[in-house]
Amino acid sequence: MWRFGLPGRLTGVIAVLMLPTLTIASDTDPKGCMEAATTQLEHNQCATSYLKAVDDEMNRVYQIIISQYKADQEFIAKLRNAQRAWLAFRDAELEARFPAKDKQSSYGSVYPMCSNTFLVQRTQERIKHLREWLDGIEEGEVCAGSMHYKRMRPAQPHSF
């Protein structure tokens, strides 16, 4: 019997052989994934999975900002422009870091891991900056611009 163009037994063997790789590739804990990886391909898959997770987090934070600031359409339009510009900058910076046209020949099999690790670092920095709109800044900051002030937390009762 043929499944997906392969004999049934061969399909099962391939699925069993791929299972550890898929498990490693789906791990979003970069340290754990990298420690479990035994081949360059697995390291590359770890870095790719982690980039996807970090990129998803950035998009989640971005969408929350859009939702919380929806009343300020001027801000949202400018934030969208800033995000597009940041993405272009991030990609251009990656190209400056690894400028060769033929990346695989020039940088070898580690290129996917290295490039994704670079993108993860830059994206984590962007998330930190985007979170400033969610976290707010200290009240009284005269350069707050579009950022909300932090909410004052009620004083906690002392325990004696």
pLDDT band at 33 (very low <50, low <70, confident <90, very high): confident
Given phi > 0 = left and psi -120 to 50 = alpha, else beta, which region is 102?
A: beta
Instruction: Please name which of 153, 130, 108, 2 lies closest in space to residue 54, comparing C-alpha atoms.
Output: 130
Give pLDDT tens digits for 59-72: 999 999 999 999 99
Query: Is residue 25 predicted with pLDDT exceeding 70?
Result: no
Q: Which residue has the higher pLDDT, 131 or 26?
A: 131
Query: Is residue 146 predicted with pLDDT exceeding 50?
Result: yes
Instruction: Please name which of 51, 58, 62, 59 lies closest in space to residue 118, comparing C-alpha atoms.
Output: 51
DSSP codes, 74-109: HHHHHHHHHHHHHHHHHHHHHHHHS--SSHHHHHGG
- pTM value is 0.74
> Mean pLDDT over residues 102-131, rounded?
96
How confident is the model at residue 37, as a pLDDT? 87
> Mean pLDDT over residues 83-111, rounded?
97
Question: What is the set of domains in the chain, with CATH numbers?
Answer: 30-134 (1.20.1270.180)
How confident is the model at residue 147, as a pLDDT? 86
